[in-house]
Amino acid sequence: SSPNTFSNAMSPVNAAIVGKAFEIVKSSEGAALREKMMQNVMMLRGLLHECGLETYGDPSAIVCVRMGTEALARLVSRRLPSMGLLSNLVEFPAVPKGQARFRLQVMAKHSPHDIFDAVRRLQAAVDAAKVEEQALREGTTTLETLNRDFPLPFQDYGDIADLDALNWDVSI
């Protein structure tokens, strides 16, 4: 079988979009967008550090926020969508055990309000998850109780079409 059997050429529309993207990247508009994005990155990292949350790596459009244990990270992760914040959880085996993290994606178009709000929501989720994690370790609650009291957003919706009605705030 040919290695190109399932290959597709880029459509003319996609090629035009890529061409326009490169034009923006090379332009003064692109330079301004990169500068604004880096300002937002530095603001986000600074606010996260002020809240006691550690970030990994060099400043870039992807801000990795350390959670540590997979248990804590999963408890935070289950709260974020209902709090209007979506973030990618990275855990073992993608990273070493005990080094779970969230990847926040920053854009130039985020406002300072968006960034403050995202940090506030993440900090609230972390604080609540720490209490839940402690209660689970002490045996004063169970995952079943947490599922009942804080159901995941997708558990209550029988049809994927119902999700379109949700007002997701995905600022960061």
DSSP secondary structure string for all residues of 94-132 = SS-TT-EEEEEE--TT--HHHHHHHHHHHHHHHHHHHHH
Report whether pLDDT(168) > 50.
no
| Predicted pLDDT of residue 156 | 43
pTM over the 0.85 mark: no
With b meaning 16 or more CB within 10 Å and e meaning fewer, what string describes 32-48? ebeeebeebbebbbebb
| Predicted pLDDT of residue 49 | 97
Mean pLDDT of 101-128: 94
The better pLDDT of the pair 90, 172 is held by 90
Report whether pLDDT(167) > 70.
no
Dihedral angle of Cα 6, 11, 16, 17, to the nearest 10 degrees: -60
* Banded pLDDT at 142 (limits 50, 70, 90): confident
- The residues facing 105 across adjacent strands are 62
pLDDT digits (tens, 9 = 90+) for 2-30: 665 666 788 899 999 999 999 999 999 99
**3-state secondary structure (DSSP) of residue 35:** helix
Round to whole Å and give the CA distance between 76 and 81: 10
pLDDT digits (tens, 9 = 90+) for 47-106: 999 999 999 999 999 999 999 889 999 999 988 988 889 899 999 889 999 999 999 999
Report DSSP state, residue 135.
Answer: H
**3-state secondary structure (DSSP) of residue 86:** coil
| Predicted pLDDT of residue 4 | 59
Report whether pLDDT(42) > 60.
yes
Phi, psi of 171 (to 5 degrees): -55, -45
